A = this chain, B = another copy of it.
């Protein structure tokens, strides 16, 4: 899993019914220091993540399909959690 920050949304015409009424978010991947990297991923949201929030993303089709409870979903990347805190070990 990876950490990201929600930095935008995508408006796209997708014909597959799975994407009806799904929000597509633009997520900037975070570095280990918690800073935006400029590398991104487009993910759907399963937790109501808002702009600027730090999120946890899983990027694997079978996992994403389990989260949405739809084994036929054409889906790879999904936000599964809002990150409350990153605790470095020192």
Known: A16-B67, A74-B58. A1 touches B41 (CB 8 A): yes
Which of B8, B11, B42, B86 is within 8 Å of A89, CB to CB?
A: B8
Q: Is the CB of A76 within 8 A of B1?
A: yes
A12 CB → nearest B CB, Å: 4
List A residues at the B interface (Cβ < 8 Å): 1-3, 6-16, 19, 24, 26, 28, 31-32, 38-43, 46-47, 51-52, 56, 58-64, 66-67, 72-77, 80-89
Give me 11 other A-B pairs in contact (C-beta within 8 A), A11-B83, A16-B80 excluded: A8-B86, A10-B86, A12-B56, A12-B81, A13-B84, A14-B81, A31-B38, A60-B61, A62-B74, A63-B76, A67-B74
